[in-house]
Structure 1
Amino acid sequence: MNKLEMTEAIILAKQAKALSWEAIAASMAMGTVWVTSACLGKNSMPENAASKLCDILELSEEVKAALIAYPTKTWEQQVPQDPLVYRLYEIVGVYGDTLKEVIQEKFGDGIMSAIDFTMDVEKIEDPKGDRVLLTMNGKFLPYKAW
């Protein structure tokens, strides 16, 4: 079973059980964003977490093996058409250079890790329209000179 087939099986089981990603992640005592990412094939899951997920969704050993397998992290190089994903690209397009400048001014020459990293999504209720709060927390990795 490949990652795409795994994702399809997980989504079908999730829908059949009427579970949210948040409920699945909470029952695993793990982060919602990370669990969802692994279920969509972008991260590998440790064996114990894969077992828990497969128990919750009543999925096969094939799905468990695919969850544990290391992914190839690639994505389309085209601008995405989904409006929400497109807006995230737009944010990076408009503010990417600014974020780079501000981060490097505060930390020095380096990058923010996407490996030693967490991300949370919160809903902030507001009478003028609910707000989305994305929190990205990555370790700073300075470039090495030698």
Structure 2
Amino acid sequence: MSMSEVAKTIIAAKESKGLSWEEIGNAVGMSPVWTTSACMGMNSMPKETAESLCNLLGLDADICTALQKYPTKVWDQAVPTDPLVYRLYEIVGVYGETLKEVIQEKFGDGIMSAIDFSMEVEKEENPKGDRVVITMNGKFLPYKAW
């Protein structure tokens, strides 16, 4: 079963149970953002977490096994057309070089890890329109010379 099929199966089960990603993350003891990412095929789940998720959603053992496999993190390199995903892509396009400059000025020559990393998505109520707050927290990894 492909990870695309696994993701579709998980989303269908999630919807049939009327659960949110927040509820699923809490139930399996993981961050909702990380849990969603693993369900979409971008991270591998520890066995216990995969079993917990499959028990919660009533999914078969083949889904549990697929969730534990090391993913090949590939995404479409074309500009996305979904408005929300496009705006995130646009943010990186507009501010990516700026973030690189500011991070390297503060830390030196290196990168922010996407391996030793966490992300939170919060809703901030605002009378002018609710705000999306995305917090990314990654370990700084300096380049080394040899």
Given the two structures, how large is their TM-score scaled by the length of structure 2?
0.99
The reply on whether 1:51 has 2:54 as its aligned counterpart is no
Structure 2's unaligned 5+ residue stretches are none
Report 1 or 2 for greater relative contact order, CA contacts < 8 Å, sequence distance ≥ 6: 1
Distance in 1, matches of 2:75 and 2:2, equals 16
Distance in 1, matches of 2:11 and 2:145, equals 46
TM-fit CA distance, 1:5: 1.4
* AA in 1 matched with 2:18: A
Corresponding residue SS for 1:66:
helix
**2:15 equivalent in structure 1:** 15
Q: Percent identity?
A: 66
Deviations 1:64-123, CA, capped at 9 Å, x for gaps: 011001110011111000000000111111110000000000000000000000000000
Distance in 1, matches of 2:41 and 2:12, equals 15
* AA in 1 matched with 2:100: K
TM-fit CA distance, 1:37: 0.3
Detail structure 1 runs of 4+ shifted over 2 Å in the superposition: none
Structure 1's unaligned 5+ residue stretches are none
* AA in 2 matched with 1:8: K
Given the two structures, how large is their TM-score scaled by the length of structure 1?
0.99
The reply on whether 1:76 has 2:76 as its aligned counterpart is yes
Corresponding residue SS for 1:135:
strand
